[in-house]
């Protein structure tokens, strides 16, 4: 067991510090205090973060921590912690680890017994969710879907039966294709696209997928898509061959047959007993040739 009492020890600390997603006035006093107190700040882009830190009068040693150099950067941050330094990890905008780098270093830092302390702050996902007009909880954060249509459709099929509200991130040059894939796989659901949040051109587009599709090509800026969950019974339409493939892949990854069935049932919303029967050749599945 790893029991961390964040403020009752003198261990070196890795702080996870959210930064404004657009409006710099949303930087919290505690975030500024922590960034002024640490020895090193790890960031995605030293130029972008340097401008933001300059705005708040913060002058600290900056190091780059990005997805493509995450292995070496994580080792570098661990070395800094082992030397007794306190380190803050920030994103260019938003919350570290939420579709931004940081997962590797957090796992390794906690594994080594260092403090990992999160700060409250900006998060585009939550901003969009609470203002979407859709059911706020439970929700599932997916992040970015695969860029290729084939992989994107395959991933959406896994989420098709989920009853909870789903949240995606998407870039403007892919938003039309991504939403068309959602229409094809999920059906014409209610959704909300939030863009340029906290900025001058902040906008929320609410409606069904088909209502939003005609205007998507004119949109700019990073986007959050909040999608209604499944409120119908899709089980009769599920491609059971895909379900069985998911079970096989889970078992090949090291799961027991029982755990694989439970995992796929949780991911697809298909009843465990139906999957179990099909895996053991005991049942039939309507709509499957």
215-252 residue pLDDT tens? 999 999 989 999 999 987 555 556 677 788 889 899 99
Residues 190-219 pLDDT 10s: 999 999 999 999 999 999 999 999 999 999
Between helices 272-279 and 240-252, what is the axis angle to 10°?
A: 80
What is the C-alpha to C-alpha distance for residues 166 and 155, in angstroms, rounded to an integer? 13
User: What pLDDT is attached to residue 262?
Assistant: 87
Task: Give Cα separations from 166 to 45, 116, 129, 186, 200 (angstroms).
Answer: 29, 28, 9, 11, 26
Q: What is the pLDDT along the chain (289 residues), one digit of tens a residue?
A: 888 999 999 999 999 999 999 999 999 999 999 999 999 999 999 999 999 999 999 999 999 998 777 888 899 999 999 999 999 999 999 999 998 989 999 999 999 999 999 999 999 999 999 999 999 999 999 999 999 999 999 999 989 989 999 999 999 999 999 999 999 999 999 999 999 999 999 999 999 999 999 999 999 998 999 999 998 755 555 667 778 888 989 999 999 988 998 888 877 767 777 788 778 775 544 433 2
The total of other beta-carbon atoms located within 10 Å of residue 194's CB is 24
User: What pLDDT is attached to residue 284?
Assistant: 47
**Percent above pLDDT 90 for the chain:** 74
Nearest 5°: the CA angle 209, 174, 183 is 25
From start to end of 213-269, where are the E strands? 223-227
Task: Give Cα separations from 53 to 32, 41, 65, 215 (angstroms).
Answer: 9, 10, 16, 36
């Amino acid at each position: 067991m790893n029991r961390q009492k964040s403020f009752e020890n003198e261990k070196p600390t890795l702080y996870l510090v959210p930064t404004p997603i657009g409006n710099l006035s949303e930087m919290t006093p505690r975030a500024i205090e922590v960034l002024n107190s640490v020895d090193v700040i790890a960031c995605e882009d030293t130029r972008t973060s340097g401008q933001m830190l300059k705005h708040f009068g913060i002058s600290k040693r900056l190091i780059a921590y990005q997805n493509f150099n995450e292995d070496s950067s994580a080792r570098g941050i661990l070395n800094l912690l082992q030397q007794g330094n306190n380190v803050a990890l920030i994103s260019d905008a938003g919350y570290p680890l939420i579709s931004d780098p940081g997962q590797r270093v957090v796992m390794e830092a906690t594994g080594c017994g260092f403090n990992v302390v999160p700060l409250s702050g900006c998060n585009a996902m939550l901003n969009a969710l609470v203002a979407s007009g859709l059911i706020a909880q439970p929700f599932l954060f997916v992040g970015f879907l695969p860029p290729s249509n084939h992989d994107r459709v395959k991933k959406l099929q896994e989420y098709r039966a989920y009853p909870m509200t789903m949240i995606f991130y998407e870039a403007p040059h892919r938003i039309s294709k991504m939403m068309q894939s959602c229409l094809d796989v999920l059906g014409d659901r209610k959704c909300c696209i939030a863009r340029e949040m906290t900025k001058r051109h902040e906008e929320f587009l609410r409606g069904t997928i088909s209502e939003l599709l005609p205007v998507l090509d004119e949109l700019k800026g990073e986007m959050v898509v909040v999608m209604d969950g499944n409120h119908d019974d899709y089980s009769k339409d599920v491609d059971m061959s895909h379900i069985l493939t998911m079970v096989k892949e889970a078992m090949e990854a090291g799961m027991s047959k029982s755990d694989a069935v439970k995992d796929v049932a949780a991911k697809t919303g298909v009843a465990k007993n139906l999957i179990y029967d099909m895996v053991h050749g005991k049942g039939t599945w309507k709509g499957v040739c």
